[in-house]
């Protein structure tokens, strides 16, 4: 193992041990090792260490046998860690390529001139299908905060320097399942205090009722809870995320598709402080893959629920039946015409049997004001790839049963409802130029 070929992650000019780091940066809580990257000449090992107060990325490399070892370190204060996303690599790409090569190989077996090629393609297809059983990895994406621009500065940066924040995102790939409970607790555990106030304030800011809060002391926003003292145990593949800092579980939304070919389970757990999105998928006998994400409660701006629109299935049904009649009457092809008519009836029946519901959670991001917001909204429609509209993000949950809308409404709009009359009055006064936009000095001020 190549760990420690640099400064052994000591974060110190005077020592080479984690003890010196613990004295200055807190206790070492967790270590995450990436899959080594090895080639004929270059070998690289990335190690990520979580201290109580800082996070360290270290990449140790060796080029050929005659070159000295070299390394690179990136050190971030804990407060810069913004988002964590844990997932297990899905095998869709390998399954798709394997299926395609198998079909081509079976087709070529009918031609004696290409039998050798056909058998080779079938062998490669089987290799693609076997790879997910032995070569799966876990991915952990970390997003760190960077300089924040507003207004025209933000719009100019997105147009002229779209990759300016590329260094604020790090990804690490590991063969061992990461401890999701620790990672999410480390990232979001400090948000437990004043969550209702932060949630309400986020609604008011994005509805132009108040300005960004300007605390007059760190005590107004500090979290007094202690850090986790140990890494804990991960509860199996895609185990449910939980933490004492997240508060009590409020309710869950579960969507599950079970079948012999495809299985999908989505679990959205609503806690007092955060919402946990977990999705697990499986195809036939291949290993299950999953994705996990935690979103702070204050980011939830709105939501909407919809039931699948049957218009497309109905129109496809009419089209298939129409083509079937044409094939039967005009082209005298009863077999193909009958098959198309059958498919048309199937399309008509699908909306009655397989209706599903979509729950879209709308999360807030950064917000531009004035002319910059108008330009961003306009340009994002014309050039969506060059000028992304980052005003909001949508997370979609697909369910086979109708969700409990009352619970979701209470969770998303609860802090606003508690003070609805005061906020309603304030909105009238602000937009009629009678009262200026509020500028609270601490989070407790937003409890109107």
Mean pLDDT of 108-125: 83
Return phi, psi of residue 80, to 5°: -80, -15
Contact predicate 292/87, CB 8 Å: yes
Nearest to 163 by CA among 392, 391, 395, 388: 388
Question: Does residue 137 surpass a pLDDT of 70?
Answer: yes
Q: Is the pLDDT of residue 236 over 50?
A: no
Task: Tell me the H-state helices in 189-224.
Answer: 195-206
- Residue located via tokens 């994406």: 141
Q: How confident is the model at residue 150 (pLDDT cuts 50, 70, 90)?
A: low
User: What does the pLDDT average to over 219-226?
Assistant: 52
pLDDT for 68 beyond 80: no
Average pLDDT over residues 373-379: 67
Which residue spans within 162-320 are E strands per DSSP? 169-174, 249-257, 262-271, 274-283, 289-296, 300-307
* Alpha carbon distances (Å) from 121 to 106, 111, 193, 394, 400: 9, 14, 59, 41, 39
Question: Over the stretch 385-429, which tens digit does the pLDDT of each residue have?
Answer: 556 655 567 888 888 788 888 888 888 888 888 778 888 888 888
Say if CB 289 and CB 90 are below 8 A apart.
yes
Mean pLDDT, residues 225-230: 40
Token pair 């702070």 is found at 296
pTM across the whole model: 0.72
The C-alpha atoms of residue 200 and residue 168 are separated, in whole angstroms, by 28
3-class SS of residue 50: strand
Task: Give the pLDDT confidence score for residue 65 in this predicted structure.
Answer: 67
Contact 11, 21 (CB under 8 A): yes
Residue with tokens 């990672």: 183
Give the mean model confidence (pLDDT) for residues 37-54.
83
Q: What is the pLDDT of residue 406?
A: 86
Which residues, in sequence order, are bridge partners of residue 290?
Answer: 280
* Three-state DSSP class for residue 410: helix
User: What confidence score (pLDDT) does residue 12 get?
Assistant: 39
For the chain, the average pLDDT equals 77
Cα separation, 48 vs 415, in Å, equals 38
pLDDT at 184 over 50: yes
**Measured distance CA(239)–CA(296) in Å, rounded:** 19
Q: Give 374 or 43, the one with higher predicted confidence.
A: 43
Cα separation, 121 vs 117, in Å, equals 6
Report the pLDDT value the prediction gives residue 35, as an integer from 0 to 100: 83
Provide the pLDDT confidence category of residue 365 given band limits of 50, 70 and 90.
low
Residue found by looking up tokens 């697909």 in the block: 398
Domain coordinates of the chain in residue numbers?
92-134, 179-224+238-307+355-446, 311-353
* Calpha distance 103→110 (Å, rounded): 12
The angle formed by the CA atoms of residues 261, 292 and 230, to the nearest 5 degrees, is 130
**Residue 328: both structure tokens together:** 């039967």
pLDDT of 332: 72
How many C-beta atoms lie closer than 10 Å to residue 369's C-beta? Answer: 10
């Amino acid at each position: 193992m190549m760990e420690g070929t640099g400064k052994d992650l000591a974060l110190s000019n005077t020592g080479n041990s984690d003890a010196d780091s613990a004295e200055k940066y807190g206790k070492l809580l967790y270590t995450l090792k990436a899959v080594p990257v090895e080639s004929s000449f270059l070998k690289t090992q990335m190690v990520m260490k979580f201290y109580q107060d800082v996070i360290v990325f270290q990449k140790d490399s060796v080029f050929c046998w005659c070159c000295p070892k070299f390394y690179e370190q990136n050190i971030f204060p804990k407060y810069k860690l913004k988002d964590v996303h844990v997932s297990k690599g899905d095998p869709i790409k390998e399954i798709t390529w394997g299926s395609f090569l198998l079909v081509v190989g079976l087709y070529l077996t009918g031609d004696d001139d290409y039998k050798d090629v056909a058998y080779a393609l079938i062998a490669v297809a089987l290799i693609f299908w076997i790879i997910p059983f032995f070569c799966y990895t876990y991915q952990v994406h970390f997003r760190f905060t960077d300089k924040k621009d507003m207004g025209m500065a933000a719009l100019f940066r997105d147009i002229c320097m779209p990759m300016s924040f590329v260094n604020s995102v790090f990804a690490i790939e590991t063969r061992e399942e990461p401890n999701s409970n620790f990672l999410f607790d480390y990232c979001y555990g400090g948000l437990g205090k004043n969550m209702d106030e932060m949630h309400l304030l986020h609604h008011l800011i994005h509805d132009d009722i108040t300005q960004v809060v300007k605390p007059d002391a760190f005590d107004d926003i500090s979290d007094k809870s202690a850090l986790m003292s140990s890494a804990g145990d991960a509860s199996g593949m895609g185990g449910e995320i939980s933490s004492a800092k997240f508060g009590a579980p409020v309710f869950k939304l579960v969507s599950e598709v079970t079948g012999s070919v495809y299985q999908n389970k989505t679990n959205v757990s609503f806690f007092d402080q955060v919402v946990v999105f977990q999705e697990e998928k499986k195809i036939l006998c291949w290993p299950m893959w999953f994705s996990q994400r935690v979103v702070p409660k204050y980011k939830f701006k709105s939501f909407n629920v919809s039931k699948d629109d049957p218009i497309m299935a109905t129109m496809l049904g009419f089209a298939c039946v129409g083509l079937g009649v044409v094939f039967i009457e005009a082209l005298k092809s009863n077999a193909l015409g009958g098959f198309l008519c059958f498919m048309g009836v199937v399309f008509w029946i699908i909306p009655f049997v397989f209706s599903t519901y979509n729950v879209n959670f709308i999360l807030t991001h950064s917000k531009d004001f004035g002319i910059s917001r108008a330009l961003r909204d306009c340009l994002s429609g014309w050039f969506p790839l060059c000028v992304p509209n980052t005003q909001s993000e949508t997370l979609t949950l697909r369910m086979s049963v109708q969700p409990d809308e009352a619970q979701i409404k209470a969770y998303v709009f609860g802090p606003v409802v508690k003070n609805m009359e005061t906020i309603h009055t304030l909105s009238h006064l602000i937009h009629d130029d009678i009262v200026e936009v509020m500028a609270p000095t601490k989070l407790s001020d937003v409890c109107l």
